[in-house]
Structure formats: structure tokens, C-alpha cells
Amino acid sequence: MPASNLVEAHRAAERRGVERLIPLAEEAGLSMPHLAMAFAISHPGVTSALLGARTVEQLDDLLARMDVVLSDDVLDRIDVIVPPGTDIGTLDQAYVPPAVQKTELRRRPLNERSAA
């Protein structure tokens, strides 16, 4: 398969994943950036989440919602859309870390999921 076809296949897979995450974020009352930050912060292996703000307004918006805590239901639904340990793109991972296999290793306790 030519490289351009691989790139397009990767982009199509990314779009499908995002198109499934958007309604989930809306149901949770969150924007996609807020869902992404809360998702990253909920994982016990994440020691810090990087904000990708390009403007002061974006930074202010992200910082204003650092107290968002995702429920287990929302985290489970994200895991269905993008299963733990998978890459939406064309790459496969041979090593399956314990946190991919055990839900409790992928989530901080509920009372520790907020960055605030």
C-alpha cells in the first residue's frame, strides 16, 4: 500500500474516533478539550497533562474547567470507542502493559481525578 494511502487510512480512523467522541462529550456537558484533559488526568500513570492552548482565551477556558471529573461510565464509553492500548491509526503495539489489562490501573480513585 502506498504511503499516501496509509496516511489517509490513519486520518479516516482518527475522524471516526473523533466523530464518536463528540456526542459523548456533549452528553457529559463538556467540550472535546475538556473531555481530553479530564481523561488524561484520570489515569494514574499520568503525572501531568499538557495544555495545548494557543491563545489566552483557550488557556483561561481550560483552566476554568480543571475540576472536571469523569465518571466510570464515561471512561468505560471512551474505552469502547478507543480500546486501551490501541492506536487509532495503523500502528499495532506488541507490548500490552498491565494498565491496559486492568481498569483499576488506568484510573485514579474518583476523589483524585480533579486537577483542582
Closest Cα to residue 108, out of 70, 79, 80, 74?
A: 70
User: Mean pLDDT score of the chain, rounded to an integer?
Assistant: 85
Domain count of the fold of the chain: 1
Residue range 3-38, pLDDT digits in tens: 567 677 777 888 898 999 999 999 999 999 999 999
Its domain, for residue 21, covers: 3-112
Residue showing cell 490501573: 105
Burial of 1 (C-beta count, 10 Å sphere; 0-12/13-18/19+)? exposed
